[in-house]
Every structure is written in structure tokens, then in C-alpha cells.
Structure 1
Amino acid sequence: MDKAQRASAIEAAYELLGTPRSHLRVKLEQTEDAVLLHYREQTLTGVQLDESGINAASAMAVALGVNVPAAGETSEVLASTGLLHRVLAISDLDFGNPASFELANVLVNEAIDMQRSSRGRNEATPMDLGELESGQAFGPYVIEISQPDADAYIAATGDSEKLHDFSGNTHPLQLDAYVLSRLIAEIGIVENRIETVHAGQQMTVHRQATPGEMIIANYTLKSCSNRRGSIWAIFETTFVDEAGRRVAESSSTIIMMP
């Protein structure tokens, strides 16, 4: 990819990144003479494997939190649009100019801070139940359920009609069960050996999700009350696809008895 091709790719990439999103699955690829960054079928940017391009590729990989792939291989990662803006800027630097190294260092450090922030949201230390407050947000949680797992879940219901209705798709309750387990881990229910009852659930489905599709879930604690030593919590969940389109919403009532 020469400079003109990169400029054209970056211009199109900025249009794609115009809508802020927290998770885009991108792929860093090394070909015979270049390192390219792709989103689906679109090449976002790329650098030639000359001295400047090798420096740029290394900085891009660090910003994304991956290694530069070997020739003919790829590295995939989830990245926010904000982080990708930094990667695009890095790819367009001329490392023949010493000042570019200083600017690249700033951009890489900003990207690393974004990586840490994202990991902090998804790998939080189990919290004290006393910290739960109405309006509190949890997530985002990224879900990707394979076809075998989707089929196994549907078959486990023991209902042949359900198996027919959802054949080739992911059962919406499986999405909810998956992220609920992540939420439970984040709250610290398992680690603290808290007895829990899943007391109620409602779900609205806008469309069926397909196996292998990336779904992003965000929880909000709608209400939380203490009743005779037990904590009653109602969590509302929004499921969206990679483009931000709504897939489903759910409401779950959980009773926790410390």
C-alpha cells in the first residue's frame, strides 16, 4: 500500500469510525510487502515494509495490544473507534522524521490507556454487595456463541418445537444466560459464596442472533433494595450487534442472600 492508497483508505476509515462504538473486530495482517489493518472486508490503513513502515507497524501493533503477525498470518482484536483513530494516525506518520517517534509515543500511550480502561470494565475485581446502587452500569460484555454451543443449548431444552424455531440461530435466552454469568462473577456472588435465586425474567427480542455473531450486552441496575437481610436487584440488559443495532432487551430479578 503506497502513500496515496493509504490516504484513500484512511479517508474511508474515518467515515466508518464516525459513529463511536466500543467494540469493532479488526484484523492486522502481514503480506509479502505490507502490514494492513482490516475491518471486515474493508482495509482501514496499511504501511509498506520499509524502514518507516516497520516502525509504524510495530507501533500500531502495540497500540492494538497484539504482536505484529508473521508474514501470511493475521492477529485479531476488539478495539474501540477512539483507539482506532490513534492507530490510523500512527500509520500515517513518516518515521523518517525524528519528531514522528515522539508523536507516536503519545498516541501509543493513549491507546494503551484505552486498552487498560476496557479491560478494567470487563475484568473488574469482585465488588462488595453494599456498593450496589440503582442506576449502576455493568459491561460491556462481548458475546460470541458458536454454532455447536447454540445447537447444544437448544437441544438441552428438550423441546423439539423450540429446536425447529431456533435452528441455525442463537436462542435469545442463551445470550442472557451467558452475560448473566459474567455479571454474577463481576458482582462477586460466586467468590463470596452468596446464595442466589434468579426470581424472574422478561425478554423482548427484536431479531434472532446468529452463531458466531458478535453481540454486546450492557447491564443497568434498575433497582436494588434490602429486604430482611436479602438484596433484591432488578437488572435491565440491552443487547446490540457490532453496528449498534438492537437485538434484544431483558429484565432479570435476582435475590442475593449474603
Structure 2
Amino acid sequence: MSQHEDDALPPAPQPQHERVWRHPSELGFAAHTLRVEQRADIGRTGRGLLLFSLVAGSLLLMGLVIIVQPRTAETDAVGVIELTSRSVEVVELERENGAAPMAMVLGDGTYLVTTWAAVDSATDETFMTIDPRDGRRRTANIVHVDEEMHLAVLRVGNGNDTRIDTLPAMAKVAMGHRVIVADGAGRPFSVGERLDDGLVILDGASSTGSNMTEGAPVLDRFGGLMGLYTEENTEPCFVPIEDVEDLLRELAPD
């Protein structure tokens, strides 16, 4: 073999101790094929899901608490008055002394009910009513006064509505319940004790200078009608709706 042919041959492999790489056959078949099996850590995954569920549940619970948290008295009053205005209709009674007590509309509007104090000391038995929604004015005459029950009934025009005992959705009067006097300002109170003359005290108000509207509906926080506002020796009170209902049943035709 010539010198030229010797130069064309590939070099001989380097000995193992002179190179940094290793052939698979030198490492062994087991070492070449060994793979570390990665198994799912079920315990760790389960704990992660549990933690996520607890966090998500806590956030949902906090959101629910915020939603159902009682609102301020002012926002409660606005919401209740807006809700109740669809079922409880009132008119204002024009008085010579400048006062404007309220009367609640019954049935189709032929009859009105208000407190006795709202019509007390009137020079005659005729009033001019004003609808606060559109300003319409109509004449109403007193047809019944019950001083013991602190109530008065008026009739608008010459109608003869047989549904005089038709009342909006009522709420049971219970001591401690939160109520609102729906006279526009929407002042909040709580139901106090019942007096000997049948009136129910409104707690949480100054006994003087209340400046609230006589005959205004007294509502619970869900819009249920609980009575009509009045005063007893300047003490804020209301005529309970049960008494209003009893009187109207007596006056209703058979």
C-alpha cells in the first residue's frame, strides 16, 4: 500500500481515556434506555384543588354579604317609596292654614282615608285635593269621622264606589320593626309600644319639631302598609293599619 493510500484512510478511534464522549455500548444498554418515570402527585394536586375551591368560595361569600348588606336609611327610603308608589296612592288636602296633610286613595279613587287630625278644626266639610303626580285638583267631602280611632273618610265628587274597603298590601304591625314615613323625606323609625288609645309610637324621632306630614303612609322596609302617620301631644305615632281596615269594613256596603 502506498503512502498516498495510507493518508486517505480514516484515523483510528481514540482510546477511551483520551476522549470526552462515550459510545452507548460503553455505557451499557440499561444506562442508555433508563427513563425516570414521572408519576402524577395525586395528593399534591388534590390539595391544590381544595385550596382553589376554598378561595373561590370565600370570594363568592364575600360578594353575597356585600349584596345583602343592609343599605343606609336614605337609600332604603328611596327604594321603598318608589316600590310602594305603584300600589299606595295618596293625595294632598289643601288646608286654609297652609298645611297639606295626606289622604290615601281607596278603590278607584272615589274614597279617601286619612287621620282625624288631618281634618280637625276645618271650617267646613269640603276639601280641595291635589294629586301630587299631575297636580289635578278635585273636591272631596268628609263622610265619616271617628275620633276614637283617629280616622276620617272623605268622598271625591258624587261617586258611589262599593270598594271602600279596598286597601294596598298590608304588613303586620310588630314592635321593633323598621318603618318609613312616606311623606317625601322618608324618615326611618322603629315601631314602639302601643298606647291606650290605640296609636303606636314611632321610636327614634325627636318628640318635638318632627315636621312630618299628617296622614302620610307608614311603610315597612318591604313596602307593606302599616298605618297612617299622626301625632299624640307632638309625639310621632301612627294609626295601625288594622284599625283602618276595621273602620272601612264597617262602612262598606253589604
- The TM-score normalised by the length of structure 2 is 0.21
- The TM-score normalised by the length of structure 1 is 0.21
User: Which structure has the bigger radius of gyration?
Assistant: 2
